[in-house]
A and B are shown apart, each in its own frame.
Chain A
Amino acid sequence: MQHNHNRVAALSDKIEKITSESPLLCYQCGKCSAGCPIRDYMDESPNQVVRLVQLGFDDEALKSSTIWLCAGCLTCSSRCPQNFDLAKFMDAMRSTALHEGIEISEIDTVKFHKVFLNQVKKHGKMFEFGLARDYKLTTQNFLQDVNVAPEMFIKGKIGLFPHEVKDKKGIKEIFDKTD
């Protein structure tokens, strides 16, 4: 693990700018990780990711699977004795990792988010068939959910055509301006 002394607090400051909360608020009690439903699947526990950021191990923190596996359930944020909004911290970590072109371990999760937002950009609403189709195409995971997909169609739960907003131009503008 490389600790770059010149970069101490670089990421911490960036995160604070996005969230208006200093990662230094965390005093490492571990209550977040104790209640995290996804902890078992993560490489670092949530409080360890905060610790990495506090100590300036920026790349290690940004490369962790933890930031992508966090489901945003907010259990940590609601229980933190310091009122540190860890879920918001994770959101900021994800957008920073994407922005800085960090090598991401959880690539399928990132692909999912991209495909999801692309559907919204195109139609203004989530088009579930388009989401499933494009996700399979980008991940090449064609066999996923073959056991439930036909039933979805039979039950009419997934339409072949999108429900779209009228104001497509307005939606596209929101996406273009926030890109």
Chain B
Amino acid sequence: MKIGYYPGCSSSGTGKEYDISLRKVLNLLDVQLEELNDWSCCGATSAHATNHLLSVALPARNLIIAEDQKLSEVVAPCAACYNRLIVTQHELETNPQLEKETSELLGKSVRSGISIINIIELFVHIGKEKITEKKKNDLKGIKAACYYGCLLVRPFNITHFDDPEQPSSMEKIISATGAQAIDWNYKIECCGGAHSFAHKEIVVDLSRKIIDDARLHGADVIVVACPMCHSNLDMRQRAMKNHQEMPILYLSEFIGLSLGIEPKELGIGLHFISSDSLLEKVGSKE
């Protein structure tokens, strides 16, 4: 299986272990990634919060690159990138005036038709059976809280992914590792997103509520599918007072552990919050 890859900016910085672990896991699961040539930033929150045309033009540039590479499917592991790419496709399809302005600006139209998928959808495509077949390390006994956050499930009329209030596709994938996905209340609550700079206190409060609810329901770990969510939930634990640490793993890292990849190889040591307690339970020391 071959698929287009839009790594997103954090893949070489704060979220680099997401990229590292995803590449290793996909390699074992026989998926080849073809990176978009000279891809650029999607504009993220800052573009759509302040400049509508720019927020469409930046993702459109990347969609055109994917078309030029004749890719039919592109995975964007960052939930925010995924959201910007898929919303841009929708806006260009439904707003002729915007489509005209954008294609004039870029000197080329987005013909669309490319399927933009998130990382959970990619693992659903690969199939639980494949993960089970390649499993070397059963994660039985681990209780995982699957966290979706905002931008994978919303806006539902555009992403058409899972269920906007009670998603469960990540839980199904997790079950292939042998771990138990817990039932909890904060799987689609916001972590504060881009407020990490200007309003750190909001991010600390919101992330703490998410972590506390996961713990209340017995989680050993929170599994995430977005580098922004990871950074907020992991790094911002340092600013939480009277707080008991909770390891935050990327979905790719979690699956990687079950495939028998060493934690170090997956970049788990790059997190702010130690995963030692979890890894001891898993049986592979960092």
Q: Which residues of A contact B (CB under 8 A)?
A: 18, 20, 37-38, 41, 69, 71-75, 77-78, 85, 87, 91-92, 94-95, 98, 106, 108-114, 116-117, 120, 124-126, 128, 131-132, 135, 139, 144-145, 147-148, 151-152, 155-159, 163, 165-167, 170-171, 174-175, 177-178
Contact = CB atoms under 8 A, between A and B. Distances in A.
Which 3 residue pairs are nearest across A and B when measured between Cβ atoms?
A126-B9, A73-B190, A74-B154
B52 A116 contact: no
B263 to A, nearest CB: 14
Nearest to B156: A78
A154 B235 CA distance: 14
Interface in B165-193: 188-190, 192-193
Contacts of A178: 51, 53-54, 57, 105
B106 A157 contact: no
A94 B45 CA distance: 12
A37 B206 contact: yes
B106 A158 contact: no
Contacts of B197: 108, 112, 131-132, 135, 144
Nearest to A18: B52
A78 B164 contact: yes
Interface string B43-70: 1111111111111011001000000000
Interface stretch (B12-20, B23-31, B111-119, B136-144): B12-20
A139 B199 CA distance: 12
17 contacts: A38-B192, A71-B193, A74-B154, A108-B197, A109-B198, A113-B45, A120-B40, A120-B43, A120-B46, A120-B58, A124-B41, A126-B10, A148-B235, A163-B12, A177-B57, A178-B51, A178-B54
A77 B194 CA distance: 18
Interface residues of B, number: 55
A30 to B, nearest CB: 18
A128 B41 CA distance: 12
A170 B9 contact: no
Contact of A111 (B41, B198, B200, B239): B198
Contacts, number: 160
B25 to A, nearest CB: 20
B193 A157 contact: no
A159 B57 contact: no
Interface of B: 9-10, 12-14, 16, 38-41, 43-55, 57-58, 61, 95, 105-106, 150-151, 153-156, 164, 188-190, 192-195, 197-200, 202, 206, 235, 238-239, 269-270, 272
A41 B150 contact: no
A37 B154 contact: no
Contact of A166 (B38, B45, B269): B38
B58 A112 contact: no
A87 to B, nearest CB: 8
Given A20-B95, A148-B238, A165-B38, A94 B50 contact: yes
B194 A174 contact: no
B270 A155 contact: yes
B156 to A, nearest CB: 6
Contact of B49 (A91, A163, A171): A91
Contacts of A167: 38, 40
A40 to B, nearest CB: 8
